[in-house]
Amino acid sequence: MIDLKLLQKDFEEVKRKLLRKGVDEALLETLKAKNEELKEAKKNFEALQAAQNAMSKEFGVYKREGKDISELKARVDENKVKVAEAIEVQRVKQEELESLAMAIPNMPDDNVPDGADEEDNVELKKVLTPREFTFTPKEHWELAETNGWIDFERGVKLATSRFSVQFGMGARLERALINFMLDFNRGRGFDEVSVPALVNRDALEGTGQLPKFEDDLYKVEDPELFLIPTAEVPVTNLYQDEILTEQELPKKMTAYTSCFRKEAGAAGRDTRGMIRQHQFHKVELVAITHPEESEKVFDEMVACASDLLTALELPHRLVNLCTGDLGFGAAHTTDIEVWLPGQNTYREISSISNTREFQARRAKIRFKNGKKNDMVHTLNGSSLAVGRTLVAIMENFQEEDGSIKIPQALHPYLGM
């Protein structure tokens, strides 16, 4: 959630930043109006409370002087009613402001480039040179059929479209990738954690998936729980409503989970193959840091994901997302896109984001900073999307006869 104190202090600066992210100006003016209503409600309450305190002091004076207190008591009783009403008005105005603020995205950092969509993202660098093929490389779904690794038709039979089944080496390679990624991340100082695949509403509100993206989530009833869209949700919320010591920071964690998304906003996109599935596996990086360390940890996370791809001999590039492509909770994001020769393009395989205080404020994650409690910074990133990594290996390591070589780094995980 955006900083409501900053909103009160400098609305024009908040407005400037959020307009860069495409937030409707009318919505921001409504936010300002709600903030002013809350300020007036607080001012009215404080005036009534001051009057109440003043009248309470008068009681002592009246008693010492032997005056009749009946009129004063009547005024006190009348004011008590007004104070109770003012408290309720203040509560309602606070709830209205916070409810509206929950739908407002994070403010982008000033160094995030302006832009409308992914076409305006800025390439930072390329890593490894794509292989030159002496034949026309196939796309992964063709290779999947040739090698019997992935069965899309049986996935549909078991569930619906955008589900798949991995067989034989496809299934083994998927498991090898998960173990390799977790081991690699642990070697970079990220502690492994295993978390639930179902979470409550509070957890999704804490990381910003709710209320805005409820239509994209799978939900179960009685009790109300949601299948996670990413391990970012449960791992970040491990410290929901807690106050950490400064010595505990940074907390750097990695987790493997299955992830579930309806992909409601992606109709017609990547309907074939494994690029955009309703259920997919992912290894995630999450960090909870001191505000002064968050950029350092951000760079570590980007390097970790990039070096992992390098270890797998997969060409990729780093991209700085523009304001129009930036996620709801992100202050800034570096995407890592892997080269897919079958598609002759780079495709996103990791997205590393610094949300600064945005998620911490929603999830109430703080740290003891001297005598006061301050908000931590939270960061998250894919390291990596397992299915897309499998796709990248299939396309980059294919041979002319359709067979697929296995990257050297995975040989120990496959008994090769």
What is the CATH number for 58? Answer: 1.10.287.40
Q: Are residues 131 and 59 in the same domain?
A: no
Question: Do 141 and 180 have their domain in common?
Answer: yes
Tens-digit pLDDT profile for residues 83-123? 999 999 999 999 999 999 999 999 999 999 999 999 999 99
Domain shared by 91 and 137, yes or no: no
Q: Do 84 and 122 share a domain, yes or no?
A: no
Same domain, 74 and 147: no
Which of 20, 162, 366, 388 is an active site residue? Answer: 388
Q: 129 and 96 share a domain? A: no
- Give the residue-averaged pLDDT of 226-234: 98
Are 154 and 262 contained in the same domain?
yes
Residues in Cβ contact with 215 at an 8 Å cutoff, skipping those fewer than 6 apart:
262, 264
> What's the pTM value of the predicted model, to 2 decimals?
0.92
Bind-site residues: 230-232, 261-263, 284, 348-351, 380, 382
111 occurs within a structural domain: no
Percentages helix, strand, coil for the chain (3-state, rounded to 5) are 45, 20, 30
From the candidates 164, 294, 351, 383, give the one annotated as an active-site residue.
351
Domain end (from 67, 101, 135): 101
pLDDT at 133: 97
- What pLDDT score does 265 carry? 58
If asked whether residues 76 and 143 sit together in one domain, one would say no
Per-residue confidence (pLDDT) for residue 271, from 0 to 100: 67
Binding residues for L-serine: 230-232, 261, 284, 380, 382
320 belongs to a structural domain = yes
Is 348 annotated in the active site? yes
Average pLDDT value for residue range 31-53: 93
Which among 241, 190, 249, 254 is positioned nearest to 359, based on CA atoms?
241
Which of these is catalytic: 172, 276, 317, 347?
A: 276
pLDDT in tens, 118-173: 999 999 999 999 999 999 999 999 999 999 999 999 999 999 999 999 999 999 99
Note whether 158 and 303 are same-domain residues.
Answer: yes
- Residue by residue, DSSP assigns 268-314 as TSS-SSSSS-SEEEEEEEEEEE-GGGHHHHHHHHHHHHHHHHHHTT-
pLDDT in tens, 253-287: 999 999 999 986 555 567 678 888 999 999 999 99
Marked catalytic residue, from 20, 261, 356, 366: 261
Q: How far apart are CA 143 and CA 402, in angstroms?
A: 6
Return the closest-CA partner of residue 313 out of 336, 339, 289: 339
Q: 357 lies in which domain range?
A: 118-414
Q: Are residues 187 and 294 in the same domain?
A: yes
The values of phi and psi at residue 317, to 5°, are -140, 155
CATH number at residue 260: 3.30.930.10
Q: Has 388 been annotated as catalytic?
A: yes
Domain boundary at 101, 136, 170, which? 101
Q: Enumerate the known binding-site residues for ATP.
A: 261-263, 348-351
Within a domain: residue 112?
no
For residues 408 and 273, state if they share a domain. yes
pLDDT of residue 266: 59
Q: What is the pLDDT of residue 64?
A: 79
Compute, in degrees rounded to 10, the torsion defined by CA atoms 336, 387, 312, 405. Answer: -140
Q: What is the pLDDT of residue 267?
A: 58
Q: What strands, in cross-sheet order, belong to the sheet with 365-369? A: 242-245, 365-369, 372-375
Q: How many domains does the chain have?
A: 2
Please, which residues have CB within 8 angstroms of residue 197's CB and are 6 or more apart in sequence?
227, 228, 257, 258, 260
Mean pLDDT (whole number) for 310-314 = 98
Confidence class of residue 49 from pLDDT cuts 50, 70 and 90? Answer: very high
* pLDDT(314) > 90: yes
Q: Do 255 and 396 fall into the same domain?
A: yes
Q: What is the pLDDT of residue 237?
A: 98
Q: Hunting for tokens 């395989």 — which residue is that?
A: 349
* 261 flagged as catalytic: yes
Domain boundary among 58, 74, 101: 101
Residue 108: inside a domain, yes or no? no
Q: What is the pLDDT of residues 327-354, one digit of tens each?
A: 999 999 999 999 999 999 999 999 999 9
